[in-house]
Chain A
Amino acid sequence: GESVGLHLPTLSVQEGDNSIINCAYSNSASDYFIWYKQESGKGPQFIIDIRSNMDKRQGQRVTVLLNKTVKHLSLQIAATQPGDSAVYFCAEKKGSYKLSFGAGTTVTVRA
């Protein structure tokens, strides 16, 4: 099964299910988007990125989708594991270096 939320601050997902985390961005001029994972007490860790000239990019167990028409970004995690429990942030890069972060979605994986 899948757990999908539209810009929800929290997401609870059963271990083994797929997760979808959504994010809306504000600046149509942003040319680069990144998903970060932040575990409790740690700094953000890079998961995957996508350039604005792409619609989809896949990594290991993760896929990022970009819909520029509605300025929407999503992160899909396949076969969610307990170690995936964390806060997930999308960030857009404005210009060459300045990252602008969203509010984050807390993902809790149920055993």
Chain B
Amino acid sequence: NAGVMQNPRHLVRRRGQEARLRCSPMKGHSHVYWYRQLPEEGLKFMVYLQKENIIDESGMPKERFSAEFPKEGPSILRIQQVVRGDSAAYFCASSPPSNYEQYFGPGTRLTVT
């Protein structure tokens, strides 16, 4: 049973470009969570999604950030017009519908130059 998969593992973008981060949950998991980790800090909750629904986006910046989890395919975290402060590791976690035990993926390390 493959774990949570994220791609790309490393992403370099110039200021003003768009970043698209993908997360495929574990098999049987229909809940996805995105977290951001700045250097030397713990993970910060961004958004919680179920298939085709955003349940809680209280941790998402108000502008430039969006997330989706379509009926088919991976969850996408999209960052428009990236700035240097967006440089961080972005982790996705998934959980089954029966509980909220979260399993984390390996992360995508975004570098904005």
Using a CB–CB cutoff of 8 Å, the interface residues on chain A facing chain B are 9, 36, 41-46, 89, 91, 93, 96-104
A-B contact pairs, 20 of them (CB 8 A): A9-B40, A36-B104, A42-B107, A43-B4, A43-B93, A43-B106, A44-B104, A45-B104, A46-B103, A89-B42, A97-B31, A98-B45, A98-B48, A99-B33, A99-B35, A99-B43, A100-B45, A101-B42, A102-B42, A103-B41
* A96-B100, A97-B48 known; A42 vs B106 contact (CB < 8 Å): yes
Using a CB–CB cutoff of 8 Å, the interface residues on chain B facing chain A are 4, 31, 33, 35, 40-45, 48, 56, 91, 93, 95, 100-107
Prevailing SS type, chain B contact patch = strand
Closest chain-A Cβ to B99's Cβ sits at a distance in Å of 9
Closest chain-B Cβ to A108's Cβ sits at a distance in Å of 15
Closest chain-B Cβ to A84's Cβ sits at a distance in Å of 19
